[in-house]
Amino acid sequence: MKFARFKKDNTIYQGIVTDAGIQQIEGDPYTNWSKTDKLFKLEEVELLVPFEPRHIIGIGANYVGNKAELPNELPEIPVFFYKPTSSVIATGEPIVIPDSIDEVKFESELAVVIGKRASNISEDEVTDYIFGYTVANDVTAPQFFREDGHWTVGKSFDTFTPIGPFVETELDPDKVVVKAYLNGEKKQDSETSLMIVSMRKMVAYLSKVMTLEAGDVILTGSPLGAVMMKAGDEIVCEIQEIGQLRNPVK
């Protein structure tokens, strides 16, 4: 099932995407919701970020180019970082390049949305705690990275975390392909099986550090091929089963 949040006539609604359009739902998508009889046409609404993110956690450099490059030994502590919720925008909204620089990098990623409190869970249990999956663009200004490994500033500018368009609850995260198109030209195209630290390992690890809650979202890293983009460009991040996250760059 595909969950959406959207705006129509200044009112915010939640819904599920069907062949006929977006069917409005009421209640809490994580726990208890029901359909209403109101149906909206997809082209008549403004899509919003499909859920309200609580914590946004990313993982650094997490893909290889092919399976032969997968390391035999995994890092004991993967490089995790936080992104602020103030950096989140929806599909269609512009990514704004900060004044002092000319370009920023896109990173198309599978994003995992936690559905209920998860503390100290094992890898086998992880999918029980996942609400669904969406697409994120982990926009990055490496010009603000520091050699000591301080990434926060370069990941945190307003508009640097497009998320959407929908949350898909029935997805096999091991069998999807993460793509990105810059001005229509394909730049990223990798199966999630090329992740170094698997999604399950990541979530289990994080749950041993911090209690994860519904609305927490984990960006699982970007495939090879991410490059810089500049004002006037359009970036589309895509996972076919979820949809296209499309943002102009300003």
Contact residues for Mg ion, defined by CB under 5 A: 107, 138, 222
What is the closest distance, in whole angstroms, from the C-beta atom of residue 220 to Mg ion in the complex? 8
By C-beta, is 78 or 248 nearer to Mg ion? 78
Closest CB to Mg ion among 24 and 222? 222
Nearer to Mg ion, 29 or 164 (CB): 164
Question: 159: closest CA among 115, 73, 215, 99?
Answer: 99
Q: Which is nearer to Mg ion, 138 or 168 (CB)?
A: 138
* Cβ 34 to Mg ion shortest distance, Å: 36
Residue 27 backbone zone (phi > 0: left; psi -120 to 50: alpha; other: beta): left
**48 closest CA partner among 196, 155, 166:** 166
Neighbour count for residue 247 (Cβ, 10 Å): 24
CB of 39 to Mg ion, least distance (A): 36
Give me the least distance between CB of 5 and Mg ion, in Å please: 23
Q: How many CB atoms lie within 10 A of CB 38?
A: 14
Q: How many CB atoms lie within 10 A of CB 194?
A: 19
The smaller minimum CB distance to Mg ion, of residues 13 and 160, is found at 160
Q: How far is CA 143 from the centre of its chain?
A: 22
**HEC profile for 59-89?**
ECCCECCCHHHCCCCCCCCCCEEEECHHHEE
The smaller minimum CB distance to Mg ion, of residues 21 and 78, is found at 78
For 129, the 3-state DSSP assignment is helix
* Residue whose Cβ sits closest to Mg ion: 138
Span between the terminal Cα atoms of the chain, in Å: 33
CB of 162 to Mg ion, least distance (A): 12
**Minimal distance, residue 231 CB to Mg ion, in Å:** 21
Q: What is the DSSP letter of 47?
A: E
